[in-house]
Amino acid sequence: MAKKILVIEDDKDIRESIAYALEEENYEVISSENSKILKSVNDIAPDVILLDNWLTEWKSDANGEQLSRGLKSDPATSHIPFIIISAVSNIKEIAEAGLADDYLRKPFGLSELTDLVKKHLK
């Protein structure tokens, strides 16, 4: 059975590029432009979650760091590797504060993306 990757990214081009790269590696990709899909995270049962740190649906006081921290603090979802994606210069600190397993700085190469996903599937 293919490993399942949940991708949450509001930029359509980036979301489609990520999905394409991961599908080429034979992963099953579930993607969404907003975080509402996380209400179904237990049903989806992803092997890895990739989340943009800033989605247009959020107000200025919400971000991926807070969502990551919530999921990593929940025993039902804490085991799922969580990778925050962002172009901000302090992405490493954001990922650490959010208890994320890793981060990916935009812009990124598709091989960098697939290598990072593989790392967290081992």
CATH number for the domain running over 4-121: 3.40.50.2300
Give the C-alpha separation, 108 to 5, whole Å: 18
The pLDDT score that the predictor gives to residue 64 is 80
Structure-token match 């990709």, residue found: 29
Q: What is the pLDDT of residues 91-100, one digit of tens each?
A: 999 999 999 9
pTM of the entire structure? Answer: 0.92
What b/e sequence results for 15-47 when a residue is b if at least 16 CB atoms lie within 10 Å of its CB, and e otherwise? Answer: beebbebbeebebebebbbebebbeebeebebb
Q: Looking at residue 59, what is its pLDDT?
A: 53
Residue 105 clears pLDDT 90, i.e. is over it = yes
The per-residue pLDDT for range 26-72, each reduced to its tens digit, is: 999 999 998 888 889 999 999 999 999 887 665 545 578 888 888 89
Q: Where exactly are the structural domains of the chain?
A: 4-121
